């Protein structure tokens, strides 16, 4: 294990991996500052660039960007009160601090806490791998088949306000994954005699359509030219330094929030919003002066920001070990596994353990470097909020369509991406969880393969294996729990 | 009765899952097993969602446009760009912008097909930014910057030959 850890460090520090990580860190920071774009769109656009890269280089390229998206997000949240997803919790105290003339301090605290959170998240991930490894090695095809059901159910149940919508979104994704030649039977399914569809629909086109094109439509119909309309106050100087010191004065809170965030990150479907709000609540509860919160308490900035960045380390654990992404961002990242030729599960924790540890190192390095860049250029980064949608749209659209074309270098890819963009916008408008769709697409083929393997090995008796039974019970319990919770909400 | 967009989406799902089930019936037992296991319950859920949407529409009586652009409207209200009172008036503006952005996306795809990436992307950027009344200097520098970025990233660094477009192909065919 220790050998893999050191080899992982060597892989992360190889010039190609490190330089590509350095290239994508500013992209991640920029995407974090632009509300409505976000890390998923960034991943969707960057995945096509990974073709032909060795896995460790590809993950450095993608994780470098993904790890720091939440480092950039407190900047508009604090300066302009424009929350986007998990950064909403930061607004509660961050914006009042800015109004009191403490924007620099709030920024310093948010950025330093993000850095600490990211590093603690990476450490949590490294410490969890030895614990998870024997569990994963004890799993066979029946257990992995039921794990795919657990993942789909968890995300459908928790990521959506409606269980039906979540399950349907997952179902749609699974059906899309069945398009093309079935490797088990040799039958070409749902291809409408189109040669282009015989190889199936590429995950890259689906991800770009569902997230990037849908976001472009959303950006296009917003009236606002840019997210910020007023000039921010100067955030340089002693205030920022005071904020950094605050992180270490309240180090116990920062570390606790990071650990909580990391644990929440491991639960499929809970996502970043839950991590930041739960940690904000923890900061209020554990404070001796809770009345200060909401009026500009620095602890109210530290806790959610630490949790935001630490959850990524936690989220990688179920993704790598079981192929069950913890959230929609991880579902998109799981698509990158296919592009890079890796299969999550036992192989990741045995054959490719060094690659897994290289991810730990990349997470830690990217967070530290991202924070240093943000602290050095905080004033300039704030100006990104003034970029108009009339500039953002051509940029995203061009790279999205270019990326989708690169999937198989066929113009049909662009049509698939467009169709998926339409579906994605419909899902966004009518509140169907798009993460469940991508998850269904990723897990669809896997679950079918595991089912056929299980049937060949054990017949229908595979359903009676102890771990399989336990996992089926978890699936049923989570669905029943959601139905009861929904009914309670309706009666209230 | 006129259906609202929300119900149309549920109807689309019914058709989608229905087509999946009909299509799957043509395959052998092993190949159709999972598509049917997924498709049948999803079809049942889509039908129940459709019924739910119809009953909600009757209760709420909100307009279809408002339903389709609900997310954007909520965002605009949050940003204090519009108030609740102006909501109805703004919905038609949002609808117009929706059709415009869809038009621009389709326009870019058409340009890509005809002219290829290296011409279509700067051309689209210039036309889109001018439509949004951006200054010429900003428009041209963005288009040039984007073209250079794509050229360096793909043609130089990755050595990828991008789609050249119908016109170039035709011209090369003539030669």
Domain that holds residue A95: 2-491
Distance between CA atoms of residues A360 and A383, nearest Å: 31
pLDDT for position B129: 92
Cβ separation A401–B16 shorter than 8 A: no
Cβ separation B45–A168 shorter than 8 A: yes
pLDDT for position B101: 92
Predicted-complex ipTM score: 0.82
pLDDT digits (tens, 9 = 90+) for B43-73: 999 999 999 888 865 555 555 555 555 555 5
Rg of the Cα trace of chain B? Answer: 23
Q: Would residue B19 count as lying in a domain? A: yes
pLDDT for position A292: 83
Averaged over B139-163, what is the pLDDT? 82
pLDDT for position A300: 87
Which one of B4, B34, B44, B90 would you mutate to disrupt binding with A, by most A Cβ within 10 Å of its Cβ? B34
Using 50, 70 and 90 to split pLDDT, how confident is the model at A223? low
pTM over the 0.80 mark: no
pLDDT of A65 higher than 80: yes
pLDDT for position B47: 94
pLDDT for position A82: 64
Q: Would residue B75 count as lying in a domain? A: no
Averaged over A23-31, what is the pLDDT? 86
User: Which stretch of A207-211, A237-241, A256-260 has the lowest confidence by average pLDDT?
Assistant: A237-241
Residues from chain A contacting residue B158 (CB–CB below 8 Å): 49
Residues from chain A contacting residue B138 (CB–CB below 8 Å): 391
pLDDT greater at residue B9 or residue B152 = B9
Cα of A88 vs its chain's centroid, Å: 17
Distance between CA atoms of residues B68 and A297, nearest Å: 39
Q: Phi and psi of B37, rounded to 5°?
A: -60, -35
pLDDT for position A158: 62
Distance between CA atoms of residues A420 and A329, nearest Å: 17
Residues from chain A contacting residue B31 (CB–CB below 8 Å): 182, 184-185, 187, 189
pLDDT of A406 higher than 60: yes
Q: Other CB atoms closer than 10 Å to residue A241's CB: what's the count?
A: 15
pLDDT for position B84: 55
Q: Phi and psi of A45, rounded to 5°?
A: -75, -35
Compute the nearest-CA separation of B173 from chain A (Å).
19
Cβ separation B49–A178 shorter than 8 A: no
Distance between CA atoms of residues A159 and A431, nearest Å: 10
pLDDT digits (tens, 9 = 90+) for B112-125: 999 988 899 999 99
Nearest residue to B39 (alpha-carbon basis) of A331, A334, A440? A440
Residues from chain A contacting residue B98 (CB–CB below 8 Å): 217, 220-221
Are A28 and A43 in contact, with CB atoms under 8 Å apart? no
pLDDT of A234 higher than 60: no
Residues from chain A contacting residue B9 (CB–CB below 8 Å): 426, 429-430
**Residue A455: C-alpha distances to residues A138, A189, A229, A415, A462 (Å):** 18, 21, 61, 37, 7
pLDDT for position A475: 85
Coil, strand or helix at B37:
helix
Domain that holds residue B52: 1-61
Are B31 and A189 in contact, with CB atoms under 8 Å apart? yes
Distance between CA atoms of residues A195 and A438, nearest Å: 24
Length in residues, chain A: 492
Instruction: State the total domains in chain A.
Output: 1
Handedness of CA A13, A16, A17, A20 (dihedral sign): positive
Compute the nearest-CA separation of B175 from chain A (Å).
24
Using 50, 70 and 90 to split pLDDT, how confident is the model at A64? confident
Q: What is the token pair recorded at B147?
A: 């073209």
Are A114 and A246 in contact, with CB atoms under 8 Å apart? no
End-to-end Cα, chain A, rounded Å: 52
What is the average pLDDT score of chain A? 82
pLDDT digits (tens, 9 = 90+) for A323-346: 777 777 787 787 777 778 777 777
pLDDT for position A269: 62
pLDDT of B175 higher than 60: no
Using 50, 70 and 90 to split pLDDT, how confident is the model at A37? low
Distance between CA atoms of residues A318 and A321, nearest Å: 5
pLDDT for position A295: 80
pLDDT of B14 higher than 90: yes
Using 50, 70 and 90 to split pLDDT, how confident is the model at A288? confident
Using 50, 70 and 90 to split pLDDT, how confident is the model at A238? low
Compute the nearest-CA separation of B36 from chain A (Å).
10
Nearest residue to A419 (alpha-carbon basis) of A208, A216, A256? A208
Q: Would residue B31 count as lying in a domain? A: yes
What is the average pLDDT score of chain B? 80
Averaged over A242-264, what is the pLDDT? 88
pLDDT for position B62: 52
Are A156 and B40 in contact, with CB atoms under 8 Å apart? no
Cβ separation A217–B82 shorter than 8 A: no
Nearest residue to A71 (alpha-carbon basis) of A373, A388, A315? A373
User: Which stretch of A40-49, A138-147, A360-369, A415-424 has the lowest confidence by average pLDDT?
Assistant: A40-49
Compute the nearest-CA separation of A86 from chain B (Å).
16
pLDDT of A88 higher than 80: no
Distance between CA atoms of residues B103 and B95, nearest Å: 12
Nearest residue to B6 (alpha-carbon basis) of A190, A365, A426, A487? A426
pLDDT digits (tens, 9 = 90+) for A445-463: 888 888 888 888 888 888 8
Using 50, 70 and 90 to split pLDDT, how confident is the model at A38? low
pLDDT for position A99: 76
Name the E strands within chain B: none
Strands A188-189 and A180-181, sheet pairing: antiparallel
**Could you tell me what percent of chain A has a pLDDT over 70?**
90
Helix (H) or strand (E) holding B111: helix B87-115
Averaged over A361-385, what is the pLDDT? 83
Helices A299-322 and A55-72, axial angle in degrees (round to 10): 160
Per-residue H/E/C for chain A: CHHHHHHHHHHHCCHHHHHHHHHHHHHHHHHHHCCCCHHHHHHHHHHHHHCCCCHHHHHHHHHHHHHHHHHHCHHHHHHHCCCCHHHHHHHHHHHHHHHCCCHHHHHHHHHHHHHHHHHHHHHHHHHHHHHHHHHHHHCCHHHHHHHHHHHHHHHHHHCCCCHHHHHHHHHHHHHHHCCEECCCCCCEECCCCCHHHHHCCCHHHHHHHHHHHHHHHHHHHCCCCCCCCCCCCCCCCHHHHHHHHHHHHCHHHHHHHHHHHHHHHHCCCCHHHHHHHHHHHHHHHHCCCHHHCCCCCCHHHHHHHHHHHHHHHHHHHHHHHHCCCCCHHHHHHHHHHHHCCCCCCHHHHHCCHHHHHHHHHHHHHHHHHHHHHHHHCHHHHHHHHHCCHHHHHHHHHHHHHHHHHHHHCCCHHHHHHHHHHHHHHHHHHCCCCHHHHHHHHHHHHHHHHHHHHHHHHHHHHHHHCHHHHHHHHHHHHHHHHHHHHHHHHHHC
CA angle B44/B50/B54 to nearest 5° reads 150
Instruction: State the total domains in chain B.
Output: 1
| DSSP tally for chain B: helices H, then strands E | 8, 0
Q: Would residue B112 count as lying in a domain? A: no
Q: Would residue B22 count as lying in a domain? A: yes
Cβ separation B105–A216 shorter than 8 A: yes
User: Which stretch of A28-37, A181-190, A355-364 has the lowest confidence by average pLDDT?
Assistant: A28-37
**Could you tell me what percent of chain A has a pLDDT over 90?**
7
Q: Would residue B39 count as lying in a domain? A: yes
Cβ separation A82–B79 shorter than 8 A: yes
Using 50, 70 and 90 to split pLDDT, how confident is the model at A86? low
pLDDT for position A226: 56
């Amino acid at each position: 294990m220790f050998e893999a850890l050191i080899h992982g460090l060597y892989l992360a520090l190889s010039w190609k991996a490190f330089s590509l990580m350095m290239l994508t860190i500013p992209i991640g920071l920029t995407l974090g500052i632009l509300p409505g774009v976000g890390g998923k769109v960034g991943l969707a656009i960057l995945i096509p660039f990974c073709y032909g890269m060795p896995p460790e280089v590809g993950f450095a390229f993608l994780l470098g960007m993904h790890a720091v998206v939440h480092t950039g997000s407190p900047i508009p949240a604090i300066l302009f009160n424009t929350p986007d997803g998990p950064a909403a919790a930061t607004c509660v105290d961050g914006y009042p601090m800015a109004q009191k003339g403490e924007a620099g301090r709030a920024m310093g605290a948010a950025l330093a806490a993000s850095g600490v959170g990211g590093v603690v998240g990476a450490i949590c991930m490294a410490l969890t791998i030895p614990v998870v490894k024997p569990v994963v090695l004890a799993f066979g095809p029946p257990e992995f088949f039921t794990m795919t059901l657990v993942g789909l159910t968890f995300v459908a149940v928790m990521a959506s306000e409606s269980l039906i919508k979540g399950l349907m979104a997952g179902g749609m994704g699974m059906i899309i994954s069945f398009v093309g030649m079935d490797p088990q039977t040799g039958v070409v399914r749902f291809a409408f005699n189109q040669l282009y569809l015989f190889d199936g629909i590429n995950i890259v086109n689906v991800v770009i359509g569902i997230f990037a094109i849908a976001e472009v439509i959303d950006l296009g119909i917003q009236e606002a030219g840019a997210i910020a309309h007023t000039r921010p106050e100067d955030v340089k100087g002693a205030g920022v330094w005071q904020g950094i010191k605050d992180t270490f004065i309240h180090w116990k809170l920062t570390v606790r929030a990071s650990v909580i965030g990391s644990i929440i990150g491991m639960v499929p479907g809970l996502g970043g919003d839950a991590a930041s709000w739960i940690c904000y609540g923890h900061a209020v509860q554990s404070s001796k002066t809770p009345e200060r919160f909401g009026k500009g308490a620095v602890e109210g900035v530290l806790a959610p920001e630490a949790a935001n960045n630490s959850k990524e380390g936690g989220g990688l654990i179920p993704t790598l070990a079981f192929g069950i992404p913890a959230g929609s961002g991880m579902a998109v990242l799981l698509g990158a596994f296919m592009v890079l030729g890796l299969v999550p599960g036992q192989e990741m924790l045995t054959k490719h353990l060094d690659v897994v540890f290289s991810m730990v190192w990349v997470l830690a390095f990217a967070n530290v470097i991202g924070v240093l860049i943000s602290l050095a250029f905080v004033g300039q980064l704030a100006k990104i909020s003034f970029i108009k949608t009339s500039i953002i749209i051509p940029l995203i659209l061009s790279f999205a369509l270019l990326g989708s074309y690169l999937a198989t270098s066929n113009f049909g890819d662009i049509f698939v991406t467009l169709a998926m963009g339409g579906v994605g916008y419909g899902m966004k408008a009518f509140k169907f969880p798009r993460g469940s769709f991508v998850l269904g697409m990723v897990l669809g083929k896997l679950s079918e393969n595991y089912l056929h393997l299980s049937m060949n090995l054990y017949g229908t008796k595979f359903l009676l294996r102890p771990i399989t039974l336990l996992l089926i019970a978890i699936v049923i319990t989570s669905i029943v729990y959601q139905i009861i919770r929904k009914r309670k909400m309706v009666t209230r | 009765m006129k259906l609202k967009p929300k119900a149309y989406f549920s109807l689309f799902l019914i058709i989608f899952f229905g087509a999946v089930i009909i299509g799957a019936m043509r395959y052998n037992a092993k190949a159709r097993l999972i598509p049917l296991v997924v498709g049948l319950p999803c079809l049942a859920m889509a039908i129940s969602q459709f019924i739910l949407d119809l009953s909600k529409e009757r209760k709420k009586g909100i307009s279809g446009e408002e339903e389709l652009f609900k997310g954007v409207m909520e965002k605009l209200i949050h940003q204090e760009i519009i108030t609740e009172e102006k909501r109805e008036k703004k919905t038609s503006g949002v609808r117009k912008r929706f059709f415009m952005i869809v038009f621009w996306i389709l326009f870019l795809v058409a340009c890509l097909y005809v002219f290829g990436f290296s011409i279509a992307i700067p051309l689209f950027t210039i036309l889109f930014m001018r439509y949004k009344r951006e200054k010429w200097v900003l428009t041209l520098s963005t288009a040039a910057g984007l073209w250079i970025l794509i050229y360096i990233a793909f043609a130089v660094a990755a050595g990828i030959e991008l789609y050249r477009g119908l016109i170039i192909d035709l011209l090369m065919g003539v030669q």
